[in-house]
C-alpha cells in the first residue's frame, strides 16, 4: 500500500465516462483517455468519481469502468470511487479488491440528514470492512474537523488519504495543523485553481478533471507547486483558470460537459452527458475552443 499512498501526493485524475450516439458508454474512447494519462505519468486515476458521472451510471457500468481503467492505466495507481449506502459501498470495496486495485475513494454520503458522528460511523464501517484496501475519504462538509478525522485515523489504519473539498483553506490548515501531514496524504479536492491556497498548509496533491484533456499541463503544474516556483505556478494557474471557471458556472452544471467537449474537440470521444448534468451552448463550446487554443500556444 505504501507506493500507492506516495502516489496520492501527486495528481489524482477523475476520469470522464464518454457516451456513444446511443447513450451507452464508449469504452474504447474511455480506454484511449486513460491510456494517455497513464503514459504521461499521472500518479493516480479514479474511475467513478463525480466527473465520471458516478451518480448516472448503473452498477454494471461502474464495474466495467473499473476494469477498463485497470487494463489501460499503465503505471498509474487505480483508485475507483465507491459509495451510496453502507451495504452497497462495502460490496463495491470487495469488487475493487477483486480487481486488484490498491485504493478506493469513498464518496461523501448522499444522505440529506447527516451528523459528524454519523459521517464518522459511515466511513469507519466501510473502511473496516476491507482492511486490505486503502481508503481516501472525500470531505465536502465544513463540520468535519480534526476530531472526526483523527478518530478515523485511529480506528482505521487503512484510511490513507483525505480528499478535502471544502473551499476554506483556513479550515483545511487548522485540520492539518492539528493532525500533522504524515499520517495520511492530503489532497486538494477542488482541482487546480484551489491547489496553491491549500499547498503551503499541508496539501501534497490535487484532484483534477482537466488532466483528462491536458495531462502534461497538470503534471507541470504539480512540479511547479512542488518546487515552490511562484512565477511558474502563477503562469500555469492563469492558463488553467478559464477552463475551471467555465466548469464552475451555474452551480457546476457543466463541470463534466466542459471536459467532454474539450476531449471531443481533440477527437477522443463524444461530448454528451447524461441527465441531470448540463450541456454546453454553442457559445460555451466556442469558449472551450479558445481555451484549447491558448493551451496549444503554451505548448499543451
Chain positions contacting a second copy, by CB under 8 A = 50-51, 53, 55-58, 84-88, 109-119, 121-122, 125, 143, 250-256, 273-279
User: Given the complex with a second copy, which of 250 and 297 has the nearer CB atom?
Assistant: 250
CB of 278 to a second copy, least distance (A): 3
CB of 77 to a second copy, least distance (A): 24
CB of 112 to a second copy, least distance (A): 5
CB–CB of 81/107 below 8 Å? yes
CB of 257 to a second copy, least distance (A): 8
Residues 6+ apart with CB under 8 A from 295: 214, 217, 239
User: Given the complex with a second copy, which of 80 and 202 has the nearer CB atom?
Assistant: 80
Alpha-carbon span 30 to 34, nearest angstrom: 6
Closest among 173, 109, 182 to 145, alpha carbons compared: 173
Q: Where are the beta strands (DSSP E) in the chain?
A: 11-14, 44-46, 77-78, 81-82, 103-106, 134-139, 159-164, 185-188, 205-208
User: Given the complex with a second copy, which of 36 and 193 has the nearer CB atom?
Assistant: 193
CB of 99 to a second copy, least distance (A): 21
CB–CB of 225/187 below 8 Å? no
User: Given the complex with a second copy, which of 83 and 196 has the nearer CB atom?
Assistant: 83
Torsion of CA 60, 105, 251, 143, to 10 degrees: 140
CB–CB of 78/112 below 8 Å? no
User: Given the complex with a second copy, which of 225 and 277 has the nearer CB atom?
Assistant: 277
Amino acid at each position: 500500500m505504501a507506493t500507492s499512498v506516495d502516489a496520492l501526493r501527486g495528481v489524482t485524475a477523475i476520469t470522464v465516462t464518454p457516451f456513444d450516439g446511443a447513450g451507452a458508454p464508449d469504452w474504447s474512447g474511455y480506454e484511449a483517455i486513460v491510456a494517455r494519462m497513464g503514459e504521461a505519468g499521472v500518479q493516480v486515476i479514479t474511475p467513478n468519481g463525480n466527473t465520471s458521472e458516478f451518480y448516472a451510471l448503473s452498477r454494471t457500468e461502474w464495474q466495467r469502468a473499473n476494469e477498463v481503467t485497470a487494463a489501460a492505466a499503465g503505471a498509474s495507481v487505480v483508485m475507483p470511487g465507491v459509495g451510496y449506502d453502507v451495504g452497497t459501498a462495502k460490496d463495491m470495496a470487495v469488487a475493487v479488491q477483486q480487481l486488484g486495485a490498491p485504493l478506493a475513494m469513498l464518496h461523501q454520503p448522499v444522505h440529506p440528514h447527516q451528523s459528524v458522528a454519523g459521517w464518522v460511523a459511515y466511513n469507519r464501517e466501510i473502511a473496516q470492512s476491507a482492511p486490505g484496501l486503502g481508503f481516501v475519504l472525500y470531505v465536502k462538509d465544513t463540520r468535519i474537523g480534526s476530531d472526526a478525522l483523527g478518530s478515523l485515523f485511529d480506528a482505521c489504519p487503512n484510511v490513507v488519504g483525505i480528499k478535502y473539498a471544502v473551499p476554506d483553506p483556513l479550515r483545511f490548515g487548522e485540520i492539518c495543523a492539528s493532525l500533522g501531514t504524515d499520517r495520511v496524504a492530503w489532497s486538494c479536492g477542488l482541482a487546480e485553481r484551489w491547489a496553491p491556497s491549500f499547498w503551503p498548509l499541508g496539501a501534497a496533491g490535487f484532484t483534477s478533471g482537466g488532466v483528462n484533456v491536458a495531462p502534461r499541463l497538470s503534471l507541470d503544474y504539480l512540479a511547479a507547486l512542488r518546487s515552490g516556483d511562484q512565477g511558474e505556478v502563477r503562469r500555469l494557474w492563469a492558463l488553467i483558470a478559464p477552463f475551471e471557471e467555465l466548469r464552475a458556472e451555474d452551480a457546476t452544471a457543466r463541470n463534466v460537459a466542459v471536459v467532454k467537449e474539450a476531449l471531443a474537440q481533440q477527437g477522443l470521444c463524444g461530448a454528451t452527458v447524461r441527465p441531470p448534468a448540463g450541456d454546453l451552448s454553442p457559445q460555451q463550446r466556442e469558449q472551450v475552443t479558445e481555451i484549447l487554443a491558448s493551451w496549444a500556444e503554451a505548448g499543451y
